[in-house]
Amino acid sequence: MNLRLTNVGKRYAEGVWGVREVDLELEQGIHGLLGPNGAGKSTLMRIITTVAEPTTGNTYWNGTDTGETPAAVRDVLGYLPQQFGVYPDLTATEFLEYIAALRGLDRETADARIEELLALTNLQQARDDRLRTFSGGMRQRVGIAQALVNDPELLVVDEPTVGLDPEERVRFRNVLSSTASDRVVLLSTHIVPDIEATATTVALLEEGELVTHTDPESLVEATDGKVYEYVVPRDDLGDVRREYQVSGTVQRADGVSVRVIADERPAPDATAVTPTLEDAYLDRIERRGAA
Amino acid sequence: MRSGGLSTRRVYHVARADFLQRIRSRRLLVVLAVIAYVGYLVNVGTVEIFYQDSSNEQLYQYAGEPTSAYIGLTAAVTGASILFLAGYYVLSGSLERDRTTGVERLVGSTSTTDRELLLGKWFSHVGLVVVLLGTLGAAALLNHLVHGTGSTDPLWILGSVFLLGLPIGCFVAGVTLLFQSTDRLRGTVGNVVYFFGAMMLAVAAVPAVGDRAPTEIPLWARMTDTIGLFALGELTYDAVLEIESGYDGLGVANFGAGSAGAEVVRFHWTGDSWPLWFYANRFGLVLLGAGFALAATVPYDRFSSASSSSGTGLVDRFRGVVPSLGSAADEPNETVRRPNEATLTPVTDRSAGGFGRLLGQELRLLVRDQPWWWYAGALLIGFIGLTGSAPPEAIVSAAAVWPIFLWSSMGVRMIRHRMTPFIISSRQPYGQLLAEWTAGAIMTAAFFGVALWPVVLETGIGGIIVLLGAVVFVPSLAQAMGLWSRTRRLFELLYLLLWYVGPLNGVPALDFAGATAETAGTATPLLFGAVGVGALVAALTHRYRQT
């Protein structure tokens, strides 16, 4: 299984590009898509899922150009858009039956998959309730279930954990990890720990351009020795923020413990700590912004 | 600034935001283009104010020369009629948009009162009416320069358009808000109720006219004037008498295309003073409109989109009575599967489902969740139709209008519920469209079948073609209109107009349903079938562009 993008771009107006000149190749496994708001993540996902047409470039699924043959990817696709709707007067089971029919499953397979996915997403008790009565988190879980209903070879999920409580978020990560071994999964999120916990590679987008596509370790390694923690008086926090990239703060009785990314030790008492993917992401975006 | 507990600043900003959102819609351009075209039609005589009388079996049609005053009146009455009959369908998307986009919840959480919100919406509606009338007035003015007689007087043309149109626009804006704020009137029911209500109100005072001259018509009847026909009569009646002193037709002017076989006689009219009662009438309409907008605060629920349904469907109610059919939520907790022990059934064939399964799903979406009285009405139509216990024209007319509640959701449902990405990225984007169409065609065939079977038995192949023409025409029109307009209202308005003139009033050329029994064996059902095929092709083209 292989998803390949060559020179993909989407122009919304003269001089306004959603994404631009993106070259990307994804094999089996989970691939995180990171980037600030407006970086073009959702646009890229809409192009991959054939919901939007690229202005330039091509997308290939197993070597087939999906612009010319969209069915090549639609046949094997599971897609959870960032903002999606449901038919509110259908029950969870009925809605999944509808999606299964759209995805071409027969009744027996659909029934079995729906049964299992309702259990997997912890929706069994609400299976016969109308979707209009669902909370945001429950609705999001229905979205996740529908994306998996056809056992997709290519799973594209855009901000899947938005609206989920911490327990369900961890649960979703586990679902993703347990089902990702034999498919290509593209996961876009602002929640870096979700990617850190699941992704085998990370693609970083900013202002519509692909900054890097690498494995999380390599991204983190680039920030090695540049992350420090130390305690500052509360009044000095503003100065620290102005001078350094602050990736975290913890309130303490004697001040504020700050976690900063800096090329040199920011204070004599600062301790170098092991960077996380979030540190690496912030560092990379900051450096690109400065450049 | 606050006056009487009302913040004018808030009202202004509600109106401003709503107005800007509306006028930036590309679909409005189409409406404006149609309005501008009407401005052309009134100048070239396609739409006229006229009086009719017959003498020695010859029908005479008295219409005016295209002076500024006459063109102003014609444009004004046409604009007022369009606003009165169709304005509701143009204006009524505002509250629905706020509900679906979540703006309603944002506004609902602020200290903006319902009164401020609805007044702001009313002003926005009136603003849109001004844009529509301005377009009509400008088009009439420009076309008068080219096609008109005498000097072009902007005051007569624009003044008439706004004097007749703006008050009725204010009135319709208020009614729209009241209907859209009332739970049971905001959907298809309200659209149908408004259509018939407006039709009835437009002709309510006509029986009081009789053979009276315009000035002899009782004041109460004149005060019910909605689109200005009584005022037109008072203004232009004497001009008709000047050229035909023996005129003894209706004292109220008519307007439209007139009769093809009539001999047209032109009268010359260059304007006159508007009757005083008419100013009071117009002012009353404005007040009524504002009053309806304020009355809408009573049924308006600012958190309607956030409130959950109590499950009002028949199945839910039945479950309530028979607990054993209750949802799984009532049952003991089942084992929650942990992800790492998940074994999902592998999918080996992603093309095994086929069209039939999708059709079943679309049929379910189409038919379910109607109110109980709709199913009861459908059963009644079925019973009466199958037993042949009602005149054909009555049962066919009923069968042709009852499923409008189903048809009008076609094409719109996936947009309204933001399902488009799922459908476009599925393996059956065209299959879904065709399944939805087929589901609509099945329901159309069911309703028309029970009503038309005597015609089919009587006329054979001719009757079958009538049935097929209707089965192709109606769902295709509904789906194409829904996809294009992204609202159910356009189809509902067009279809109700067509149904009113064709099947209900028995005009054979527009009888797509075969209610008149005169269309079997003619080209009419074939033409409607062809229009249906064209609409289906348009819908498929739309889907092709989406994919």
> Is B249 among the domain residues?
yes
Instruction: Tell me if B527 is assigned to some domain.
Output: yes
Of the candidates B295, B324, B346, which is a domain's last residue? B295
The domain total for chain B is: 2
B96, part of any domain: yes
Residue percentage of chain B with pLDDT more than 90? 56
B313 at interface of A, judged by CB pairs closer than 8 A: yes
Closest A-chain CA to B351: A104
Q: Which of B313, B327, B344 sits opposite A128 (nearest CB)?
A: B327
Q: How far is B496 from chain A (nearest CA, A)?
A: 27
Q: What is the mean pLDDT of chain A?
A: 91
Task: Decide if B308 is inside a domain.
Answer: no
The pLDDT, as a whole number, for residue B336 is 59
End residue of a domain, out of B295, B317, B333: B295
φ, ψ for residue B250, nearest 5 deg: -60, 145
Q: Do A127 and B327 touch (CB under 8 A)?
A: yes
Same domain? For B279 and B386 the reply is no
- Between chain A and chain B, how many beta carbons pairs sit less than 8 Å apart? 164
Partner residue facing B423 (CB), from A102, A117, A124: A102
Q: How far is A86 from chain B (nearest CA, A)?
A: 6
With b for 16 or more beta-carbon neighbours within 10 A and e for fewer, the B247-256 pattern comes to bebbbbbbbe
The contacts of residue B195 (CB under 8 Å, 6+ apart) are B85, B492, B493, B496, B500
Nearest chain A residue (CA) to B436: A102
Mutate which: B105, B330, B344, B405, vs A, most A CBs within 10 A: B344
Mean pLDDT over B496-508 rounds to 90
pLDDT at A70 over 80: yes
* Residue B241 and residue B361 share a domain: no
Give a yes or no: residue B345 inside a domain: no
Asked whether the beta carbons of residue A128 and residue B328 sit closer than 8 angstroms, the reply is: yes
Q: Is the pLDDT of residue A101 over 60?
A: yes
Regarding whether B464 and B385 lie in a shared domain, the answer is yes
Of the residues B357, B365, B406, B433, the best mutation for testing chain A's interface (the one with the most A CB atoms within 10 Å of its CB) is B357
Is B387 found in the same domain as B268? no
Element containing residue B63 per DSSP (H, E): strand B58-64
How many C-beta neighbours within 10 Å does residue A257 have? Answer: 14
Residue A51 with chain B: CB contacts under 8 Å: 420-421, 424-425
pLDDT for B300 equals: 92
Q: Which chain B residues are closer than 8 Å to A100 by Cβ?
A: 353
State the complex-level ipTM: 0.83
- In this prediction, residues A177-185 reach a mean pLDDT of 85
Give the pLDDT confidence score for residue B309 in this predicted structure.
42
Q: Do B417 and A87 touch (CB under 8 A)?
A: yes
**Reduced to 3 states, what is the DSSP secondary structure of residue B42?**
coil
Asked whether residue B250 falls in the same domain as residue B370, the answer is no
Task: State the alpha helices, DSSP H only, in B296-369.
Answer: 314-321, 354-367
In a domain, B164, yes or no: yes
Q: B278 with B418, same domain?
A: no
B312 within a domain of the structure (yes/no): no
CA torsion A198→A204→A206→A208, rounded to 10°? -100
pLDDT in tens, B269-309: 998 999 999 999 999 999 999 999 999 999 998 776 544 44
B397, part of any domain: yes
Identify the residue among A79, A118, A128 best suited for mutation to test binding to B, counting B beta carbons within 10 A and taking the highest: A128
Q: Give yes or no for a contact between A157 and A185, defined as CB atoms under 8 angstroms apart.
A: yes
Q: Does the beta-carbon distance from B352 to A104 stay under 8 Å?
A: yes
Which residue range(s) make up the domain with B83?
Answer: 2-295
Mean of per-residue pLDDT scores for chain B: 87
- Asked if the model's pLDDT at residue B342 lies above 70, the reply is no
Residue B31 and residue B173 in one domain: yes
The verdict on B415 and B485 lying in the same domain is: yes
Please check the confidence at residue B209 and state whether its pLDDT lies above 80.
no
Per DSSP, the residues of B72-110 read HHHHHHHHHHHHHHHHHHHHTHHHHHHHHHSHHHHHHTS
pLDDT tens track for A220-241: 998 999 999 999 999 999 999 9
Backbone angles phi, psi at B387, to 5 degrees: -85, -10
**Could you tell me if B126 and B207 lie in one domain?**
yes
- Within an 8 Å CB–CB cutoff, is residue B413 touching chain A? yes
The set of residues, in sequence order, having a beta carbon less than 8 Å from that of B33 and lying 6+ positions away, is none
B370 and B230 assigned to the same domain? no
**Together in a domain, B365 and B290:** no
Which one-letter DSSP state was computed for residue A61?
A: E
Using CA atoms, how far apart are residues B244 and B227, in angstroms rounded to an integer? Answer: 26
Phi-psi region of B525 (alpha: psi -120 to 50; beta: other; left: phi over 0): alpha
> Are the beta carbons of A29 and A180 closer than 8 angstroms?
yes
**Are B377 and B273 found together in one domain?**
no
Q: Compute the distance between CA of residue B198 and CA of residue B86 in angstroms, rounded to an integer.
A: 9
Which residue of chain B has the CA closest to A136? B306
Nearest CB to B339 within list A120, A130, A151: A120
Lowest-confidence segment of B4-8, B193-197, B198-202, B354-358 by average pLDDT: B4-8
Note whether B178 contacts A: Cβ–Cβ < 8 A. Answer: no
Give residue B208's pLDDT.
73
Mean pLDDT of B48-68: 90
Please give the share of chain A, as a percent, with pLDDT higher than 90: 74
The region of weakest confidence among A10-14, A62-66, B50-54, B206-210 is: B206-210
- The rounded distance, in Å, linking the Cα atoms of B279 and B273 is 11
